[in-house]
């Protein structure tokens, strides 16, 4: 397969404009063909960002009317649309990438996974933060045994946003699939599962703290993995001072890292991960520390690598290999998120059945 695969992108908000479109643009074997957005300002932004060669259409119907001219659909529209648009793409015979969360429930994710498997099509949730520089560093340290046996994994996405921004992400309507648990929690849970494996039980606390807020904006989730390791995950819009991004405790040492991976900020500013140029690299002052109370040292952070996700998608479509992230993995994470909602609502620990 020598011709580039033509991509249709549904949505040009933050996800579409700052993540998907730029990463598609720098991926060998992919070319952005069409963007769906009904907003005239965003249509003009597409022309500025991506050039005259990328067409814009106002509706999904217009995109799917050209299904035969496309090779991949990317769903980067509001959460409530993820399932119907992904299903429509699969039924049109097109592989699909879906921004997180793939669905509102594990059952919906399993339905989509089964449909994709039945039709022999790729279906992959966009979990780019598996390629964050700090998480890649944590995985490397755990794999090489630098921490000894991992006892507890602490992970945070905290922000200080005392004023509401508005929009569907802060809506209390369950159909919008808003709130921090499904937003930032989708990343945190996915990382915990990727690092430490399946979960046996879930405990959660979920609150709506800000005046006028409708959706959860301050959440804590505690996971007990089947291997006995505990993950403690925080997500908040009400953190006036931020805790460490990661604190991983082991029998030999601990790793502590502050600050955020630099790739999102770079993409928002219009930078591109061009081949041959440094990308996702942190200065030494931002590195985490490894060790214990008597001796600790800075550890160089692995380079962040968001481009690896779409490179994996292109390789899977070209060679028939596995997706970089699978729909079944998304369903497993959604089971944890659903259990967290139940735990917070009912004030109890929720056990997850093995082998589901």
Could you tell me if 160 and 298 lie in one domain? yes
DSSP string, 293-318: TTEEEEEPPPPP-THHHHHHHHHHHH
Write out pLDDT tens, residues 2-60: 689 999 999 999 999 999 999 999 999 999 999 999 999 999 999 999 998 999 999 99
Could you tell me if 95 and 16 lie in one domain? yes
Give the SS3 label for residue 234. strand
Q: Cα separations (Å) of 282 from 1, 158, 302, 304? A: 36, 20, 8, 9
Give the SS3 label for residue 141. helix
Q: What is the pLDDT of residue 355?
A: 58
Could you tell me if 95 and 241 lie in one domain? no
CATH number, domain containing residue 87: 3.40.50.720
Could you tell me if 300 and 185 lie in one domain? yes
β pairing state of 150-158 and 199-207 = unpaired
Could you tell me if 228 and 294 lie in one domain? yes
Write out pLDDT tens, residues 206-251: 999 999 999 999 999 999 999 999 999 999 999 999 999 999 999 9
For residues 55 and 63, the answer to whether their CB atoms sit within 8 Å is no
What mean pLDDT is predicted for residues 176-205? Answer: 97
Query: What does the alpha-carbon distance between residue 280 and residue 304 come to, in Å, rounded to a whole number?
Result: 4
Clarify whether 165 is annotated catalytic. no
Is residue 106 included in any domain, yes or no?
A: yes
Write out pLDDT tens, residues 194-203: 999 999 999 9
At residue 109, does pLDDT exceed 80?
Answer: yes
Range of the domain at 251: 129-305+336-351
At residue 168, does pLDDT exceed 90?
Answer: no
* Residue 59 DSSP label: S
Could you tell me if 123 and 35 lie in one domain? yes
What mean pLDDT is predicted for residues 258-270? Answer: 97
Is residue 328 included in any domain, yes or no?
A: no
**In the structure, what pLDDT confidence band is assigned to residue 353 with cuts at 50, 70 and 90?**
confident
Could you tell me if 246 and 340 lie in one domain? yes
pTM of the model: 0.95
CATH number, domain containing residue 154: 3.30.360.10
Is residue 356 included in any domain, yes or no?
A: no
Which of 39-43, 134-138, 173-177, 263-267 comes out lowest in average pLDDT? 173-177
Q: What is the pLDDT of residue 2?
A: 62
Could you tell me if 158 and 109 lie in one domain? no
Q: Cα separations (Å) of 81 from 76, 101, 245, 306? A: 9, 11, 31, 24
Q: What is the pLDDT of residue 277?
A: 87
Measured from the Cβ of residue 208, the count of other Cβ atoms closer than 10 Å reads 15
Q: Exposed, middle or buried by CB within 10 Å (0-12, 13-18, 19+), for 3?
A: exposed
Q: Cα separations (Å) of 178 from 108, 166, 228? A: 16, 11, 31
Q: Exposed, middle or buried by CB within 10 Å (0-12, 13-18, 19+), for 297?
A: exposed
What is the count of structural domains for the chain?
Answer: 2
Could you tell me if 267 and 133 lie in one domain? yes
Could you tell me if 78 and 150 lie in one domain? no
Could you tell me if 76 and 174 lie in one domain? no
Q: What is the mean pLDDT of the chain?
A: 96
Could you tell me if 260 and 340 lie in one domain? yes
């Amino acid at each position: 397969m020598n011709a580039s695969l033509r991509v249709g992108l549904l949505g040009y908000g933050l996800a579409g404009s700052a993540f998907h479109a730029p990463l598609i643009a720098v991926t060998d074997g992919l070319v952005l063909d069409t963007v769906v957005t009904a907003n005239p300002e965003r249509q003009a932004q597409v022309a500025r960002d991506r050039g005259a060669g990328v067409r814009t259409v106002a509706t999904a119907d217009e995109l799917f009317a050209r299904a035969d001219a496309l090779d991949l659909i990317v769903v980067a529209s509001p959460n409530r649309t993820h399932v119907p648009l992904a299903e429509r793409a699969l039924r049109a015979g097109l592989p699909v990438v879906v921004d997180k969360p793939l669905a509102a429930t594990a059952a919906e994710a399993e339905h989509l996974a089964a449909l994709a498997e039945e039709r022999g099509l790729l279906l992959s949730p966009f979990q780019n933060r598996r390629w964050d520089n700090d998480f890649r560093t944590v995985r490397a340290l755990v794999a090489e045994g630098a921490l000894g046996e991992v006892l507890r994994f602490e992970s945070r996405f905290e922000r200080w946003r005392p004023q509401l921004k508005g929009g569907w992400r802060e809506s209390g309507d369950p159909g919008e699939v808003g709130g921090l648990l499904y937003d930032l929690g989708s990343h945190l849970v996915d990382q915990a599962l990727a690092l430490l494996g399946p979960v046996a039980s879930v405990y959660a606390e979920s609150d709506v703290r800000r005046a006028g807020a409708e959706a959860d904006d301050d959440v804590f989730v505690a996971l007990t993995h089947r291997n006995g390791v505990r993950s403690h995950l925080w997500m908040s819009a009400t953190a006036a001072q931020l805790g460490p991004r990661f604190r991983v405790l082991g029998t030999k040492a601990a790793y502590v890292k502050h600050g955020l991976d630099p790739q999102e900020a770079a993409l928002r500013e219009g930078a591109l991960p061009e081949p041959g140029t440094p990308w996702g690299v942190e200065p030494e002052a931002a590195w985490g520390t490894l060790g214990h109370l008597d001796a600790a040292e800075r550890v160089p952070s692995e380079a962040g690598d968001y481009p690896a996700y779409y490179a994996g998608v292109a390789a899977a479509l070209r060679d028939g290999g596995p997706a970089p992230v699978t729909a079944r993995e998304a369903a497993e994470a959604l089971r944890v998120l659903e259990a967290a909602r139940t735990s917070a609502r009912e004030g109890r620990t929720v056990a997850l059945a093995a082998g589901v």
